[in-house]
Structure 1
């Protein structure tokens, strides 16, 4: 899978948002909020082909993940991929 090209992550206050600029203007009906980890992950994956396992490994390398939280991490990454798919944020 690959993140959709042309989308931009911006920090607005304490929040991170993905915006879809269209025809030189920002369409505010297409703004998606991310937490800090998801925004970091977006930046790390931008422009690359990746799989769920790549996402998990990136987060493991950045954060202290033990056996008890590993199952939650995989679940969280599956949920993030679902969010990306449902909001048309992945290349088709």
Structure 2
């Protein structure tokens, strides 16, 4: 799977927002906020093919988290990305 290539991650202050730059006007119903860990993962995954294992490895390599917690977090993150339509079909 891949992240949608038409979406852009913007950081404003301490907020990380995913926006669709093709919108003529800002529609707040299609702006998504990410915490700093999810924003970091977005940057690592942008433009690449990945799966849940990729996310688990990134989390374990860069954060003090055990594999079980990383698997749980990766599953939730991918579910949220899919539900919000942030992945390419």
Q: Distance in 1 between matches of 2:77 and 2:70?
A: 10
Partner of 1:75: 72
8 Å CA contact retained: 1:9, 1:17? yes
Question: How far apart in 2 are the matches of 1:27 and 1:43?
Answer: 23
**How many Å apart are 1:28 and its aligned residue?**
3.2
Partner of 1:21: 21
Structure 2 residues not aligned, in runs of 5+: none
Q: Tell me how large the CA RMSD over aligned residues is.
A: 1.4
4+ residue runs over 6 A deviation: none
How many pairs are equivalent?
89
Cα separation, partners in 2 of 1:23 and 1:12, compared to 1, 3 Å: closer
Report the alpha carbon displacement of residue 26 of structure 1 after superposing the two structures with TM: 4.5
| Pairing 1:1-92 to 2, within 5 Å after superposition | 1-23=1-23, 26-65=26-65, 69-92=66-89
* Normalised TM-score (structure 1): 0.87
2-side partners of 1:71 and 1:60: how far apart? 10
Alpha-carbon displacement from aligned partner over 1:18-56 (angstroms, at most 9, x marks no partner): 011115654433100101010000000000000100011
* Whole-Å separation in 2 of the counterparts to 1:37 and 1:57: 14
Alignment partners' CA distance in 1, 2:14 and 2:71: 25
